[in-house]
Structure 1
């Protein structure tokens, strides 16, 4: 007989919702600070030369500048509909996950907060503000990257993008872990060697 997992309690929903809300507030605050400094779009604020800069770029595409060159009406429709649908799916999945699956719930809360932050940005500003830019300053690797890919810099991103990636990784890790544990025999039982 299979036992149903405990559904997320009202307190649990608030706790993970609070994580998402704090993330949206922090994301919007950092974007507002950077968006008020358009000079960083021309000349980045170098934090660690060759490795880390703060820029002020508007991204009409999606995370890591994907869909940047897609035709405008389709890009706008896609970048509005897909994230809104994703938020709905995430909220539904969070309501179905057992309360004991903290790692997955935290992952979903991060993805939800990141998606909401970028959706809000798109509605408020018409595009997403990206400001974190990392590169490889070590000369031999930098030269190879520039020769191979044309740049040694990762596309600029923001706090919301980071949360989405970290949350997705947490969900993937929890999924792999639970899949692996469901395949292993229960303690005290031996596999038959039929």
Structure 2
């Protein structure tokens, strides 16, 4: 006697529907970069608050302009890393249950940031940055919406690994032993 079961029962729906978040953040990132390039000259600054400006800057490197003056090869290195990370994040979303909203949101945010910055590197050869904070005693390196998405998504992944990952794994083991 063969037992038939629905594939939906065996495997929960994947987290790929969370790609909507990737698309929304990516569109916001690209729109804000486009507006920056169209409305400001390079290094031109528009004061929003006494400590916050929109300043058009170009980042030829990675975070904090790491390897920014390396001669151009870094564009290919950082683009390659972004493609590998993006593929891993898509795989992670595919294998993560749609019910795990926190992790799928985190993956979607990091993915949107990686794609947003790699698009800039491939199109322009640099990343467009424009968010500029100067606290008087410290000036933060200029950044963009993609950087914010990567930071928030990475922080969510770290928080998950510190506080919830072990509990989730124990629950999976418990659930699988109950199914037997």
TM range (shorter): 0.7 to 0.9
Moved runs in structure 1, 4+ residues, more than 4 A? none
Counterpart of 2:89 in structure 1 is: 90
Q: Is the 8 A contact 1:37 1:56 kept in 2?
A: no
Unpaired segments of 5 or more residues in structure 2? 1-9, 171-180
1:155 to 141, 145, 150: 141
**1:30 match: secondary structure:** helix
CA-CA distance at 1:157 after TM superposition: 0.3
Gap change, CA 1:121 and 1:43, over 3 Å in 2: closer
Contact kept? 2:26, 2:115, Cα under 8 Å:
yes
Give the deviation of 1:183 after TM superposition. Answer: 9.2
1:103 alignment partner in structure 2: 102
Mapped to 2, the partners of 1:6 and 1:173 lie a distance apart of 26
Matched residues in 1 for 2:12 and 2:119: separation?
29
1:13 is the counterpart of 2:16: yes
In 2, Cα distance between equivalents of 1:183 and 1:101: 13
Contact 1:43/1:55 (8 A) holds in 2: yes
> Which residue does the alignment assign to 2:77?
78
CA RMSD in angstroms, aligned pairs only: 2.3
Deviations 1:56-93 (A, max 9, x none): 111111233222123422x1221111101110011111
Identify if the C-alpha distance between structure 1 residues 66 and 7 changes in structure 2 by more than 3 Å, giving closer, same or farther: farther
Q: Is 1:64 the equivalent of 2:64?
A: yes
For 1:108-147, list aligned pairs within 5 A: 108-137=107-136, 142=137
Is residue 179 of structure 2 the alignment partner of residue 178 of structure 1? no
Question: C-alpha separation between the residues in 2 aligned to 1:163 and 1:6?
Answer: 29
